[in-house]
Amino acid sequence: MSGGVERGDADDGTTDPDGGFRKPPPPDDRLWRHPSEVAGRTPSLAPPSTRARSPWPVALVSGLLGSVLTLGLVVATGGLDRTARSVVVRESVASVASAPVGDGGGRDDDVVRIAEQTSPAIARIEVSGERGGIGSGVMFRDDGHLLTNAHVVDGARSIKVVLADGSEHEGRLLGSDSLTDVAVIKIDRPEPFPVAVLGTAADLQVGQATVAIGSPLGLIGGSSVTTGVVSALGRRVPGREGPLLDMIQTDAAIAPGSSGGALLDGTGAVIGITTAIAVSEAGYQGLAFATPIDIARSVAEDVMATGRVAHVWLGIEGRDLDATSARDTGVAGGAVVVEAIDGGPAEEAGLLPGDIVVEVAGKEVSSMSALVIALRAREPGEVIDLGVVRGGERRTVGVELGTRPPES
């Protein structure tokens, strides 16, 4: 009944054996919906302690609102002010595990500090086009480069960026990547813009503090700040171009119109770009998801350098190794090669249908999703060793990774 996610992943050229992602069923037959299908339904934004716990499947909802009044179900974080020119990029800083902010033990001051520090770097993004709406953006370079979600700017004919000081700027889309739901917008002015400090999601821990800052519903008066914790890591949620992998889950309240905003750790460093919220037939479930900043920054670097994103390509169709086969094979899990695509890196390296990939460059992988995530840290042209089980025997296969073809 739910909008399920197909196995395999478009990011590295892996696809479902059935031939790609299936067209979703009609809205009444699934639990996830685009805002245009649920206009008028208002999600519950009750505090975390009062939200109902529900086993309903996760629903990915676009943070793009057709208008301020079209609430529906949404995603992310957004609007404030910043202007840039000098090309100052705040260097990445390690995430520091800390107690939840705003817990009554003096942490309220931390939230105030983080809000004052980061809010000027959060912008409201107003899009005109076939799917016009409102989202948010994070200024990460003082020359006017902002990170946001690809779905926020999809089909945009014009983009207006409203900063925290109320100033309005014409934005131009430098590039977007629907596979990771990340886009880069550029605005201009002579003076430098305030920028957010970019952290890393690599060392996050479940339970550590989070602060979300966005521009919910496009409301006038600046950004909105909410607090919570990292609820889970490595989540897989439905996306428009296939599953979004390795997502950060948080219980910090995320409202419609906040797509493309900032999820920060307890020090105020950006650890993710808010992307989706979970809903069920009962309404908002108090769960939100953010794209790790490491992925967003990598996409931005590609876009700024070449105008497009180069995804690593292994060239296989695959599936998860089932529990029974894993037990019989004596491994914890793995990715089963269903087909090695003709002329692809895997086929040229000698991978065969039935091979089980259990390791990438010495790092264990237990599923297709884990394989995709491991490959995201690599570059096209890089040669890596894959740990493969074939016929019950373990072996090492060297593969030169390729660049994902445009339509694969």
The helix (run of H) or strand (run of E) holding residue 112 is helix 108-118
DSSP state for residue 89 in the 8-state scheme: B
How far lies 65's CA from each of 75, 149, 261, in Å? 10, 13, 15
Three-state secondary structure string covering 243-310: CEEEEEEECCCCCCCCCCCEEEECCCCEEEEEEEEEEECCEEEEEEEEEEHHHHHHHHHHHHHHCCCC
Helix (H, G, I), strand (E, B) or coil at 193: coil
Residue at 100: amino acid letter: P
**In sequence order, what DSSP letters do the residues of 107-146 get, joined into one string?**
THHHHHHHHHHHGGGEEEEEEEETT-EEEEEEEEETTTEE
pLDDT by residue, tens only, the chain of 408 residues:
333 333 333 334 444 444 443 444 444 433 343 333 333 333 332 333 333 333 333 333 333 333 222 222 233 333 322 222 234 444 444 444 444 444 444 467 889 999 999 999 999 999 998 777 889 999 999 999 999 999 999 989 999 999 988 899 999 999 999 888 999 999 999 999 999 999 988 888 899 999 999 886 656 666 788 999 999 988 888 877 778 888 999 999 887 778 899 999 999 999 999 998 876 555 556 788 999 999 999 899 999 998 888 888 999 999 999 999 999 989 989 999 999 999 999 999 999 999 999 999 999 998 888 898 888 878 899 999 999 999 989 999 999 999 888 665
Residue boundaries of the structural domains of the chain: 31-305, 312-403
The 8-class DSSP code of residue 4 comes to P
**End-to-end Cα distance, the chain:** 28
Calpha distance 179→396 (Å, rounded): 29
Phi first, then psi, for residue 368 (nearest 5°) are -65, -40
Q: Which CATH architecture has domain 31-305?
A: Beta Barrel (2.40)
Closest CA to 83 of 160, 168, 173: 168
Nearest alpha-carbon partner for 260 in 42, 65, 26, 40: 65
Per CATH, which fold does 312-403 belong to? Pdz3 Domain (2.30.42)
pTM across the whole model:
0.67
Q: How does pLDDT run across 339-362, given as a tens digit for each residue?
A: 999 999 999 999 999 999 999 999
Active site residues: 151, 181, 259
